[in-house]
Structure 1
Amino acid sequence: MNFIIWHYSRGLVQFLEIWKNFISFFWKYFGVDRHFFTLLSSWKRDVSKVGRRGLHPLLWLQTSLENILTRFLGAVVRSFTILAGIFAVLTTLVAGAGFLLIWLALPLFLFSIFFASFGYLAGDFAASSIWLAVFLLTLVLLFFSRRLQADARKNYPQMSLRELSAQPWFSRVWERVGGAPSPSTLESLDKPELLKRFLEACHISPDEFRQIVDWEMQNQTESEKRRRFWLKENLDSILPIGHDWTYAYTVHLDNYSNDLSQSDFSEYKDSKLIGHDQELAMLELVLTRPNQNNVLVIAEAGVGKHTLVHTLAKKIREDKIGPSLKNKRVIEVNLGELISSAPNQSAQDSILRQIFFEAAYAGNVILAIYDINQYLKNDPQSPRENISSVLIEFLNYSTFQVIGMTSLAGFHEDLEKNEGVMKFFEKIQLGESSHEDALKILLFKIRDRERERVLFTYPALREIISQSERYFTDSPFPEKALDLAEEVLLYWSQNSSENYISPQVVDVVVSQKIRVPIGEMEETEKEKLIHLEEILHKRVVGQDVAVKQIAETMRRARVGMASDTKPIGSFLFLGPTGVGKTESAKALAEAYFGDEDRMIRLDMSEYQKADSIDRLIGSAESEKPGILENKVRENPYALLLLDEIEKAHPDTLNLFLQILDEGWLTDVFGKKINFRNQIIIATSNAGAEIIRDSIEKNISADEIQKLVTDYVIKQGIFRPEFLNRFEGVIFFHSLSRDDVLRVTEKLLLAYAARLKKEKDINVSFEPDVFAKVAEASFDPVFGARAIYRYIEDKIGDNIVKKIISGEVKEGGSFVFGAKDIVQ
C-alpha cells in the first residue's frame, strides 16, 4: 500500500521531473535555440577578406561569394542539427506521454500479459507481440518506480547513527576507525557514553568520528548520483553538439597545446579543489571582465596551481559555470616545445604571433601558461626566453586571455619589475593548505586506492599530516602529505601484516627517512633516554650539571613536551677552552641522532664582517644560496654547532634570534629554512675567567650564571634578548685533577683504537703512563686540547719511529711505558 501511495504522489512528481529533464537535455544537446539565432553566421568565423587596398570589383565579388558559400554551408549543417533536435524533443514528448499513461494505469497494464496470451492462443501474433511489449515496458516502469522509491528513502543526513550503521557502506566507517566495535557497542549507538568509550580506545574524538561518517556519506551520495543518469546535472555535463561552431579554428595553436575544456587525460582529471573556493571564484570573476581579464596565479609547487586550472576547465566542460564563461576553452600551452622547435628568434616570434592571433580571434580561448616567468626573463644572454614584446602586442586585446602561473620566487625575480606585462594581470596568490584541508585532500586522493576496502585508519591519516608538517618542510601541504602517504602505503604493502595502516606504520616510515626515532618508544630507546646522563658521560668527563641539563631537555623533546615551533633544543655553552663543550655536542649528536657525524659545525669567527649574512643565507646579487642554508637543507635532522659565537658580527647574531625563537628562517629567495628538527648549540669562551675563579671560590651555579650574564651584557658581547632565546645557558667549569686524568686515559685509549684500526697494531699502556702524560701535558688555558696535542706529538712520534725502524710491525703488539715518552 505504501508503494502505491508513493507511486501516485511523489513518484509521479519525480517521473514528470525526469521527463522534463530529457526534453530540456535534447533541446540543449542539439542547441536548437543557439543554432537558430546563429543560423546565418559564418562557419567557425571563417571570413575571407579582400586584403588589398583600392577598388578591386572582381576580388571583392570572389570574396563575397566565398563568404556566402561558407555561411550557406554553415546554415545547412545548423538546419539539420536543429531538425534533429526538434525531432528528438518531439519523440521524447510522445514517448513520455506513453510512459505517463502506463505509469498512471500501471495496475491495469499488468494484465496486458493476459491479452498477449489470448492473442497468441488465437493466432494473432501481431497483437500478442504488442501486448507483450506493453507488459515488458510496464515491468520496466514498475522496477524503475521501485528504484526511485528506494533512492528517495536514502536521505542519509536525516538518518540516525543507528540507521546509518545498517547501510552497507557504513562498514567503511568502522574500517577507518580501525575495526568494528563489539555487538554490545553496536546495539548502543544511540548511547553517546558507550560510543565515546569505544572511540577513545581507538584514539578518535567524537568530532573526528562525525567527520569520518560525513566523508563516507558524501562519497556514497556522490557515487549514487553518478549512477542516476537521468538527473539534470548528469545530463547537463554532456557537451552539446556544435557548441564551438561560432568560434574560430586554432590549427597552429593546437600543435603546441592541450584543450582541457574538451577532455582531460592528465593526472589532474579527477582532482578536487579543496580549500581554495575563494581563489577559484576570483579567477572566474576576473576572466569575465570585459578588459584587464588576465590572471597571474602565484603559488609554490605542490599547493594546487594545476588543480585550480583543471577545476575551472572541468566546470566549463560540465556546464557548471556562469554564462560569461560558457563554451570557453582552457588551453594549456607548451611554450617550451614551441621555443625549442623554432630555429631562430625570428621564427619563434612568427610562430608566437600566429598562435596568439588564433587565440585572440577564436573568441573563446583562455591560454594557461605554466611557469610563465621562465618565458619573461630579462636576460641578455638568453633573449629567446623573453617573449614580453610579442605577448604585450596581444594583451591589449580583450579577447586574448591568459592564466599565467609562477612561484613566489619566480614572481619576484622575473615578473615583479616587468611593469609592461604586469599591468595587464590580476594577481591571485594561492596559499598552502591548512591541516584540515590537507586531510580532506588526502582522503580524496586515496579513494582510488581504497575502492575495494579502507587501507588507512583515521589516526594514520592524522599522523601523516602531523609528521609531514613536523619533519618535511621543503614542500608545502598538500604535496608533502600525499608523498608521505604513498611511501607509507608502499612500505605497508611490502612489510606489514596488519590489516590496516596504523600510526605506528607511519612513524616507522618517517623514522627510516629521517634516521631519528619517533612515535612510541621501544624498550631500548626508553632505557637510553632514562640513562642519557650515563651515555653522555661515556664521552664527556665531569661537567655533571651541564650533562644533566642537556639530558632533561632531550627527554622533554622526545616525549613531545617541548615546543614544536622551536628547535628540538637550544643551548649556549660557556666555559674555558678544552673543558668538553665540543665533545658534549658530539656526544649529544651521537646519542640523539645515532651518529656524531650528524653534526653541522660552523666556525663563527669566519663571520665577523657585515656581509657575513650573505654567506650564511645567500645573496640576491650572486643568486647563490648560503652556507648555512645548504648545510641545513642537506642535513635537516642534525645538531648545529656554532663555535665561538661571540666572534660573529652583531647582524649575524640577530639572524639567530628568529631561528632560536621560531625555528625557521626565510632566505633571500623567499624560501623557508627549517630548524625545528635541529639541536642548536652555541659555544663561547666569554666569561671563562669569571667561571674559573667562581668555581674555585665555591660560588653557586645560579650566582655564577648571574655574574657571567652581567659580564657579557656589560661588555656588549651578547644582548639580553639573545641570551634569553636559549633554553639553557650551561656553564662548563675547568677540569679538576681527576678530570684531567680521566680525559688523558680516554684520549690514549682512543689513540690506541685508531692505531689498531688503521695499522692493525695493538698497543697497551702501563698504568703509570696515564698520570705521567696528564701531568706533563695539561695546560689550564687550553684544557683537554693540550693533552690531545701532547699525545699526537710525543706519544705518536715515538710510535711512528718504532714503525719506521721495524721494531713494531703491522699485526704486532707492544706495551707503551713511561720510559717511552719523548720529552
Structure 2
Amino acid sequence: SYHGIKIDAEMISLIVEMSDRYLHSRSFPDKAFDLLDKAAAKAAMASQSRLTRESVTETLSETTGLPLEIMDEDPAERLERLEDFLNSAVPGQPRAARDVARVVRIAKLGLELRPEQPDGVFLFVGPEGVGKHEMATALARFLYGSPNKITEFDMSQFTHRSSMSRLIGADPSFVGYGERSGLLAKAAEDSPHSVLYFRNIDMADQVVQQFLGEAFEQGRFTDAAGARISLSNTTVVMSLSGLQETHRGSQMGFVAHVEEEEDRRATTGKLRSEHRMGSGLVDSLAATIDEVIEFQVLDREATEKIIGERLVSLKSRLEAAQPVVINLDPGLASFFADRLSRERKSLAQLERLWQEAIVIPFTRLHIDRHTQGARAEINIRVEGGAVELHTV
C-alpha cells in the first residue's frame, strides 16, 4: 500500500505504461514514482481504499494538460482515426493527411528510433491558401485536445542572430535575465504537449535555424537561464515564405484546368527533393525533417467545400454577436470561388472579401433594425452578380 491506498500489480503496470507514453521529458524510475505518489494521494483524498485507473488518468491529465478522453482511449485505435479526421478538417489534401498521419502514428505508438525527439518534424510546402495552417490546427485538436494547443512563431521576425534571445530568453548581461521570457522556452514549458508552428522558417537567421536544428535533433534545449527544456512531447510544423513558394506556378491555391493539375503531379517528386535541400534551410535543420508534406493545388470542388464550411462558421459568428437569424444562399460558395479565381486570390484572402461583401453591410443593416428594437432575420443572397443582404 501507499498513502494508505492498496495498489494492485495491474495499476503498477498502468503507471509505468502511462509514464512512458506521456512523460517523455522525464526519466524512469522518477517519473513513474512521481505519478504513483500523486495518484495515490488523490485517491486518499477521495477516501478510496484502492488505486483506480480513474485516479491515475485524472492525475496524468492534470500533469500534462491533456483531456481525459485522450487517455481513456486505446492509442492505437485512436490514431487509426487520425487520417480520416485530417481529411475532414482539411478538404482536398488526402495525400498530406495520409503522410502526416503515418509519421504521427509511428511516433505516438513508440515505434520511432529516437523517442526523445519531437513526435514529428514536418515541412509543409505549397501555395497560399491550401490548408497548411488548418492542418497544423487540426493536429493540435486531435493530438492534444484543443485547437488552442498550438503556438505560432513568425520567423520573419527572427532575421538577426540577436533575435535568439526572443526564443530562449535574455542574455545574462541584459535586464530580464533569469525570467522565463523566451517565446519558445515559455511555450514548451507551459504547454509541453502541443504543436509548435514555425511560419516563414526560411527567413530566420542561420544561427536561429542551427539552434532549432539542434533542439529538434536532441529533443531539448537549454534556455538563457540554464534550464533544460524538453520538446519530446511536441509536434513541430514548419512552412516556407511566399518567396520560396513562387516557383510553384499558380499562387491562388486552386486550379482552373485539369491539365495544370496533371503537370503539377508529374513534378511532385522533384519538388519534394527541391524543398528539402533548396528551401533556404541550413543543413542541420533540414536533416531533422521527418517528412516534407506537399499540399495539393485545390480543385474547384474542394475549394467550394472549404468556402461553404467557412461560410457556415461566419454565419455562426454573426448570429452569436447579434440577436439575428441568417439564411445563406446555396450559391454563395460558387460565387466566392468565382471571384477568387477571377481576381487570382487565394483562400487566405477570403476573410477580406467577406468583410467588404458581408460583414460591413450586415453591421449597418443590423444597426438600423436594432434601433427599432426588432429581431432581424437576414437573407444573404447572390443577386445580379453581387452579394445582397435583406431583412425578412
**TM value normalised by structure 1:** 0.41
Which residue identity does 1:515 align to in structure 2?
Answer: G
Residue in structure 1 matched with residue 308 of structure 2 by the alignment:
745
- What is the distance in 2 between the residues matched to 1:780 and 1:736? 17
Residue in structure 1 matched with residue 103 of structure 2 by the alignment:
553
* Pairing partner for 1:536 from 86, 90, 114: 86
- What is the distance in 2 between the residues matched to 1:780 and 1:480? 57
- What is the distance in 1 between the residues matched to 2:286 and 2:361? 46
Structure 1 residue 519: Cα displacement:
11
Residue in structure 1 matched with residue 128 of structure 2 by the alignment:
577
Residue deviations 1:461-513, cap 9 Å, x none? Answer: 4654665576558888877655433320133345697x743677534421343
Structure 1 residue 596: Cα displacement:
0.5
Change in Cα spacing, 1:533 to 1:703, as seen in structure 2 (3 Å) is same
Change in Cα spacing, 1:457 to 1:484, as seen in structure 2 (3 Å) is same
Residue deviations 1:74-128, cap 9 Å, x none? Answer: xxxxxxxxxxxxxxxxxxxxxxxxxxxxxxxxxxxxxxxxxxxxxxxxxxxxxxx
Structure 1 residue 542: Cα displacement:
0.9
Residue in structure 1 matched with residue 377 of structure 2 by the alignment:
813
Which of the pair has more CA radius of gyration? 1
Change in Cα spacing, 1:465 to 1:641, as seen in structure 2 (3 Å) is same
- What is the distance in 1 between the residues matched to 2:20 and 2:214? 19
Change in Cα spacing, 1:724 to 1:588, as seen in structure 2 (3 Å) is same
* Pairing partner for 2:228 from 668, 672, 693: 672
**Number of aligned positions between the proteins:** 369
- SS of the equivalent of 1:821 reads strand
Structure 1 residue 578: Cα displacement:
1.6
The question of whether the paired residues in 2 share the 8 Å contact of 1:543 and 1:733 is answered with yes
- What is the distance in 1 between the residues matched to 2:343 and 2:289? 28
Residue deviations 1:446-468, cap 9 Å, x none? Answer: 5xx46xxx733456446546655
Residue in structure 2 matched with residue 492 of structure 1 by the alignment:
43
Comparing 624-633 with 608-617, greater Cα deviation is found at 624-633
Comparing 468-477 with 634-643, greater Cα deviation is found at 468-477
Structure showing the higher strand proportion among its residues: 2
Q: Percent identity?
A: 22
- SS of the equivalent of 1:749 reads helix
- What is the distance in 2 between the residues matched to 1:556 and 1:517? 21
* Pairing partner for 1:759 from 316, 322, 329: 322
* Pairing partner for 2:272 from 697, 705, 719: 705
The question of whether the paired residues in 2 share the 8 Å contact of 1:457 and 1:502 is answered with no
Change in Cα spacing, 1:517 to 1:551, as seen in structure 2 (3 Å) is farther
Structure 1 residue 758: Cα displacement:
1.7
- SS of the equivalent of 1:579 reads coil
The question of whether the paired residues in 1 share the 8 Å contact of 2:214 and 2:284 is answered with no
Change in Cα spacing, 1:494 to 1:560, as seen in structure 2 (3 Å) is farther
- SS of the equivalent of 1:682 reads strand
Residue in structure 1 matched with residue 200 of structure 2 by the alignment:
644
Change in Cα spacing, 1:720 to 1:575, as seen in structure 2 (3 Å) is same
Change in Cα spacing, 1:507 to 1:496, as seen in structure 2 (3 Å) is farther
* Pairing partner for 2:246 from 689, 708, 715: 689
Which residue identity does 2:307 align to in structure 1?
Answer: T
Change in Cα spacing, 1:809 to 1:688, as seen in structure 2 (3 Å) is farther
Change in Cα spacing, 1:723 to 1:812, as seen in structure 2 (3 Å) is same
Which residue identity does 2:83 align to in structure 1?
Answer: E
Residue in structure 2 matched with residue 380 of structure 1 by the alignment:
none
Structure 1 residue 788: Cα displacement:
2.1
- What is the distance in 2 between the residues matched to 1:571 and 1:810? 51
Residue deviations 1:401-434, cap 9 Å, x none? Answer: xxxxxxxxxxxxxxxxxxxxxxxxxxxxxxxxxx
- SS of the equivalent of 1:815 reads strand
Counterparts of 1:346-425 in structure 2, within 5 Å, are: none
The question of whether the paired residues in 2 share the 8 Å contact of 1:633 and 1:673 is answered with yes
- What is the distance in 1 between the residues matched to 2:333 and 2:6? 62
Residue in structure 2 matched with residue 586 of structure 1 by the alignment:
137
Structure 1 residue 516: Cα displacement:
2.6
Residue in structure 2 matched with residue 218 of structure 1 by the alignment:
none
Change in Cα spacing, 1:648 to 1:520, as seen in structure 2 (3 Å) is closer
Residue in structure 1 matched with residue 254 of structure 2 by the alignment:
none
Counterparts of 1:207-356 in structure 2, within 5 Å, are: none
Instruction: Output the aligned Cα RMSD.
Output: 3.4
Which residue identity does 1:702 align to in structure 2?
Answer: G
* Pairing partner for 2:332 from 751, 769, 775: 769
Residue in structure 1 matched with residue 66 of structure 2 by the alignment:
516
Structure 1 residue 550: Cα displacement:
1.5
The question of whether the paired residues in 1 share the 8 Å contact of 2:137 and 2:150 is answered with yes
- What is the distance in 1 between the residues matched to 2:333 and 2:295? 23
Residue in structure 2 matched with residue 621 of structure 1 by the alignment:
173
The question of whether the paired residues in 2 share the 8 Å contact of 1:599 and 1:641 is answered with yes
- SS of the equivalent of 2:153 reads strand
- What is the distance in 2 between the residues matched to 1:660 and 1:631? 15
The question of whether the paired residues in 2 share the 8 Å contact of 1:504 and 1:520 is answered with no
The question of whether the paired residues in 1 share the 8 Å contact of 2:223 and 2:229 is answered with yes
- SS of the equivalent of 2:127 reads coil
Which residue identity does 1:621 align to in structure 2?
Answer: S
Counterparts of 1:598-637 in structure 2, within 5 Å, are: 598-618=149-169, 619-622=171-174, 623=177, 624=179, 625-637=181-193
- SS of the equivalent of 1:665 reads strand
- What is the distance in 1 between the residues matched to 2:344 and 2:145? 32
- SS of the equivalent of 1:555 reads helix
The question of whether the paired residues in 1 share the 8 Å contact of 2:161 and 2:207 is answered with yes
| Pair 1:795-2:358 in alignment | yes
Change in Cα spacing, 1:471 to 1:781, as seen in structure 2 (3 Å) is farther
- SS of the equivalent of 1:573 reads strand
Change in Cα spacing, 1:547 to 1:692, as seen in structure 2 (3 Å) is farther
The question of whether the paired residues in 1 share the 8 Å contact of 2:152 and 2:196 is answered with yes
* Pairing partner for 1:595 from 134, 146, 151: 146
Change in Cα spacing, 1:782 to 1:680, as seen in structure 2 (3 Å) is farther
- What is the distance in 2 between the residues matched to 1:690 and 1:810? 54
Structure 1 residue 678: Cα displacement:
0.8
Which residue identity does 1:791 align to in structure 2?
Answer: W
- What is the distance in 2 between the residues matched to 1:570 and 1:747? 28
Change in Cα spacing, 1:652 to 1:496, as seen in structure 2 (3 Å) is farther
Structure 1 residue 688: Cα displacement:
2.2
Structure showing the higher helix proportion among its residues: 1
Which residue identity does 1:689 align to in structure 2?
Answer: T
Change in Cα spacing, 1:692 to 1:768, as seen in structure 2 (3 Å) is same
Structure 1 residue 799: Cα displacement:
1.2
Structure 1 residue 643: Cα displacement:
1.1
